[in-house]
Chains A and B, each alone.
Chain A
Amino acid sequence: MDHSAALKSTPLVGVHRRAGAKMVDFGGWDMPVQYTGILDEHHAVRRAVGLFDVSHMGEIEVRGLEAFQLVNYIATTDVSKVKIGQAQYAGMLYEHGGFVDDILIHKVADDHYFLCVNASNQDKDFEHIAASNKFNCTVENAGPRYSQLAIQGPKGLATLQKLTTNDLSAIRYYHFADGEVSGTPARIARTGYTGEDGFEIYIDPSQAERLWLEIMQAGEEFGIKQCGLGARNTLRLEAKMALYGHEIGPSITPAEAGLARIVSFDKGDFIGREALLKQQAEGIKRKLMGFEMRGRGIGRDGYEITIDGTPAGFVTSGGPSPTLNKNIGLCYLPIEKAAIGQTFQVIIRNQPVDAEVVPTPFYKRAKS
């Protein structure tokens, strides 16, 4: 069936089509999966710079005297630690401890927080936050007011610096500045979903096409490439960054997903706290681990895992790693089997193929 009429699109859909991108339905959005090829685009980000349209991502703004109280109540992290101009990765949970979503919290002012959330979750997230708002503040589903571009890779700073008067080197990792890019107001964040240095900029949708073309031109001397969701996925997998619907979801808790570091029990009450404390007392039963294929074959999303012929879990994300030239993946394993060196089998088209648990992240960039 053709649902294309109902697909949402970003202001850059015309640019993508003219560039010959292969388009896919990504959670209801008409998005580019690749332009020249996933490998090509992946390597461009690791070695130079790549430009991604991530305008499908959602934005939610919380404003008012008690904006902090609301954000601290819906997030797993200690939001009091976030300074103005800083960004923080957090979980947002249901009472039962499973993920509503994972979010990026930006503190714009004492009474203003800007949240970046997953595209397919933005309406659900907005409703969850609005329904939890027993505080003196407002919640706005601001997605339509922003387009988001990601400039990622070791040459990301040099590329974007050509277009802005803001001193980008002064913006530290997981910090942001409100400034301008090529004369248009922009929230410039040193964040990303690739495991590489880079920036994510939030701009007015009317400026998206112009900036896209200007960034491509600015990056030409560095070998910039337009990158689609295919490369975004291989890059984030190598860096072991979670993807909603794969590593995290309503039936998965932060501790299971290896994200205990984003949970603060000392910060006061938050949604899901009771359930997480209970789980902490009882101990988790499964854990997210990274693996490499040892046999010939590629373990992919959803494939079953067995140990000695007994079902033991499933692959959450898997595929070839272009940087490491190995077949890698993430999977849930029973806690007693969740150890480096544990071997298991991935069922690939009815055949068990050997795999081994390895340390993660698979790829970590050299500190500059």
Chain B
Amino acid sequence: MHNQKLRKLGAVALMAVVVGAMTYVSQTSTSKLEAAQTEQSNALLTPWGEPDLQGIWSVELLVPLERPNGVTTEFYTEEQVAELDRERANGSVFGNHVRAERGSEADVAGAYNAVFTSQRPTGRRTGMVIDPPDGKVPPLTPEARARQTELFEYQAALLQNTVVCRDGLDGCIGGTYGPRSPLRDQQPPYYSTRNINRANGPEDRSLGERCMSGNLPNFRGGFTGIHYRIVQSPGAVTIFYDVGQGQGFNRVIPITDAPHLPAHVRQWWGDSRGRWEGDTLVVDVTNFSGKTEFRGARENLRLIERWRRTGPETLEVVSTLEDSTVWTRPWTVVQDFAKQPEAPNRIYYEPRCHEGNYGLPGLLIGSRAEDEAFAEGRGRDPGTRCIAGCASPEGRDPLALR
């Protein structure tokens, strides 16, 4: 009995020692393995041994979201890139070659000219979408298509009595000219994140006009550019998104295997859970709010991101989007970022679109003045004017991501 107890004790003690030793060994083995794997890129590890994603990152080359029609390769040749650069440099960017008739509404509309917008060189990639292999966003589900049509018809109805539709301009979005629609007195069929041709209140205006367009996923980088600042510590990656003309936001990705927030807790930027898989930060984002919108996807969106430092000056972010209520299959997008020098610190932490938003109250008070003038017989019906961004004579860069 005594001997058996001693033996059991001995077994337990031995187990403890072996556990300790094996833990030590497995930890050092893991670190040794990591060290071996990344030996040639030690500059790309943080001091605590994780892949280093830190720095200021920007998208420097223009790549449209989808591969343009008629293009069948994943990459352009150097000659094709040079040709595209030439074409785009000579083409129209935001109306620098386009003139509307003097004195017309279209002549004074349009906020951005070629001096304001950045014209980035053409990238080698023919499109950001890498899956499906044809480089196009997958088709919408019938229910998503029906929802989009519903909102489109509402938007078109609010435009039909405008001079833009009378004159058959692009801003009429393919609608027809007609009398004032009774839909002007109704709300859109569901929460719209885009402009409608009305300014009864802030909800009639786009998220951008309300200074809330900074959302996930962030594939923009059209004319306003895209800058990230990434800082890491063990257990967290924080990314400041300087996007959308002062509509930036900060996002913290916890490195954890804790479950997501409960399903009823919904956020604009969803709920991120990160983990390291070798040299890649894999982030699973769920719990999106119904107020957010990405090409039709709202609260059912699931985003899986893979962040990887591909070289001293490069970062690749591969994002897979899933929403079976919107797209017939998941699709995947790649973004290539270039490291920016630290010393000039050229990233804008003041997302003060909101603090300086004189545009929105200006638009609202202007609409109230128009309503009053019309009611008193002093002015035209406000419904005949387009205030949904349709009157600007902008040309379109064929590759531009808007």
A and B from one assembly? no
B contact residues vs A (CB 8 Å cutoff):
none
Q: Tell me the A residues contacting B by CB distance below 8 Å.
A: none
